Amino acid sequence: MNPLLSKFATPYETVPFNEIKNEHYLPALKESIELSKKDIEKIKNNSEAPTFENVLEAMNEVTDRLEKIDLVFNNQLVAETNEQLQKIAREYSPLRTEFSNDILLDGELFEKVKNIYDEKDALNIDQEQKMLLEKSYKAFVRNGALLSSADKERLRGIDKRISELSLEYGDHVLDETNKYELHITDEKELSGLPEMALEAAQMTAREKNKEGWVFTLQMPSLLSVVKYADNRELRKTIVEASSRKCMNGDSNDNQKILKEIACLRHERANLLGYETHSHFVLEERMAKDPGRVYEFTDDIFNFAKPYADRDMNELAQFSKSLGGPDEIQSWDYAYYAEKLKKEKFNIDDEILRPYFKLENVIGGVFEVAKRLYGLNFREVDNIPLYHPDVKTYEVNDSAGNFVAILYADFFPRSGKKGGAWMTLYRSQKGEIRPHVGIVCNFTKPTGTKPSLLSFGEVTTLFHEFGHALHGTLSNCKYASLSSPNVYWDFVELPSQIMENWVFEKDCLDLFAEHFQTGEKIPEEYIKRIKESSTFHEGRNTVRQLGLGLLDMEWHTKDPSNVKSVEEFEKEATLKMELCPHIEGSAISASFSHIFRGGYSSGYYSYKWAEVLDADAFEYFKENGIFNQEIAKKFQNEILSRGGTEHPSILYRRFRGRDPELGALLKRAGLKQNNA
């Protein structure tokens, strides 16, 4: 019996990873699609007048059945993939896309939805039901329900092709990351690298049956070289390899693929009556249109650029004083910035790492959640896992009621894509509680040391845990509206606000203690963390804005005229450039957020959400960072509400007003009179 097609007979009805095999996915999908088609026919053939219950809620049941399989498959594809799974995906994804189109392009089904939508003002339905109706109606209209038969067929072809190309793009990025090795046999070349980084590289070498040290493009390994290696050629070698990822003219080259994706998105938008892909996407975002995103980007850029120039000039002078280059190259930036930061603030990651043992940080973030939202986390060992590294926790509220299951997966491996993300294995719906996951790529334990996090990794854990809280505390009637199913430029608020706690003494005192002595992090270190929090924030802001601008440039123009990915990218981000361009490089070729993930025309949302999170955290600081009254408002108006109302309304209800830019500029040290 296919375990994906029956009720999960596991603790908390968690995914039975111990039973599911690769060969189960396609049969489960195909059978679910066939059952769903029959259910759709029943909805269409129902002779009773269309109602919210017999159309909208019935359609929702169809969606929920397929989501059960999708969540398992798609999560495995990025967290624990293999060649067989990637091959299955090339059939799975087009099938899934085709069935979605079968629904959204079905004229009879749309007519029933439209009949209900046209009568919406007369219906006796609540706010969440109104939002489900509006979202469902828009999904049909925005995905081709009003097109001619010929245009519907073209849309199907476009969607199928995009799904195939996106998978291929992601496979290339993962393969290119996994295959790269910087093999060093002479220890003299590794001057400057911390002991833990050397141990990790030795461990990697042993795993690959090699002598010496092996560094990879996995982020912990890459960063250890670029931040600490005194050998400039070593830094240059690995930075160039990372920058030219999927740009090398071989089987993993993504240039043709990303151009085709961009062209197909543009054609699709035109087919649906939109000027560009960005116009299509942003219609359902807080920003609303591309002009507002460009305006927003320029507003912050104008504050940040003078500070970014100051940062880079200061760094060049510092480098020169140490006998380094006059002009900072990409492979110099992190190395000299780390040294300058240590000189100015007497603080760096290697000083702080001993105080950030992974297990302690996990305990700390759990304690923050307890103080804010009354949540308790208990590790459980009876839940099937997809990899031995994964840990699972039962989440209960202060009254002992079951709230959620949390999966935590922290270390890099060959079958796992880079970066960090939050995911769901089961959505919250009514009385059904969610199963939430956080996935990261942190420094692994070595033979002599536990996993000791950099301060950046600590903030990443808090960030992803913020997403997890959004999913955990969701309290909605319908899965499609439950958290974190919100506008893309609102979804980063719950995650980014959590990062703020890491800079506060009252928070760090909860968990930051030396992994060997148990000594609490010295107050002087906390002071230095706070003082250094705005270090090179001008440069960091401009870099983030540059990535968002690149995304917008790909999606606000007709990309069919792009001859060279590299030249297009250079021109698109010229005003944001802070280091000389690396010939033969283009981040577009490995920019999975926009060509494999869901961030196309949405990468700006990280900075957009920073305005929200800085403004919201200011509210906490004014009343105490563990103020339960403010936390309850944040839970009730933001975290629990999902996409049941427009985010501007939810934020205004929480804060009492619209967000203001001032809190972000203050936090970043970008004073408004910087000109």
Can you tell me the distance from the alpha carbon of 48 to that of 672, in angstroms, rounded to the nearest whole number?
62
Q: Which of 591, 602, 483 minimizes the C-alpha distance to 548? A: 602
**Integer Rg of the chain from CA:** 25
* 585, 238 contact by CB (below 8 A): no
Can you tell me the distance from the alpha carbon of 384 to that of 489, in angstroms, rounded to the nearest whole number?
34
* 229, 191 contact by CB (below 8 A): yes
**What are 349's two structure tokens?**
């990651």
Can you tell me the distance from the alpha carbon of 570 to that of 547, in angstroms, rounded to the nearest whole number?
12
How is residue 409 annotated by DSSP? E
Can you tell me the distance from the alpha carbon of 83 to that of 369, in angstroms, rounded to the nearest whole number?
39
* 435, 412 contact by CB (below 8 A): no
Q: Which of 464, 492, 504, 553 does the annotation list as catalytic?
A: 464
DSSP labels, 265-314: HHHHHHHTT-SSHHHHHHTTSSS-SHHHHHHHHHHHHHHHHHHHHHHHHH
What letter represents residue 539's amino acid?
Answer: R
**What are 96's two structure tokens?**
């899934």
- Check the CA dihedral 397-475-281-144 and report its sign: positive
Q: Is 153 a catalytic residue?
A: no
* 492, 606 contact by CB (below 8 A): yes
How is residue 587 annotated by DSSP? G
Q: Is 403 exposed, middle or buried (0-12, 13-18, 19+ CB in 10 A)?
A: buried
- What are the two backbone dihedrals, phi and then psi, of residue 402, each rounded to the nearest 5 degrees? -65, 130
**What are 41's two structure tokens?**
């026919």
CA atoms within a 13 Å half-sphere pointing along the CA-CB vector of 538: 20
Distances (CA, A) of 279 to 272, 282, 293, 487, 609: 11, 5, 11, 15, 20
* 526, 299 contact by CB (below 8 A): no
How is residue 432 annotated by DSSP? B
Beta strand 421-426 pairing with 391-396: unpaired
Instruction: Name the strand (E) or helix (H) holding 25.
Output: helix 25-45
Q: Residues in the chain, how many? A: 675
* 392, 408 contact by CB (below 8 A): yes
Q: Look-up: residue for tokens 């003219």?
A: 249
* Cis, peptide link before residue 306, omega less than 30° from 0: no
Can you tell me the distance from the alpha carbon of 261 to that of 161, in angstroms, rounded to the nearest whole number?
8
Q: Is 645 exposed, middle or buried (0-12, 13-18, 19+ CB in 10 A)?
A: middle
Beta strand 402-409 pairing with 435-439: parallel
Q: Which of 303, 415, 402, 260 minimizes the C-alpha distance to 674? A: 303
Instruction: Name the strand (E) or helix (H) holding 384.
Output: none
Instruction: Region of 81 please: left (phi>0), alpha (psi -120 to 50) or beta.
Output: beta
In 10 A of CB 30, how many CB atoms?
14
Active site residues: 464
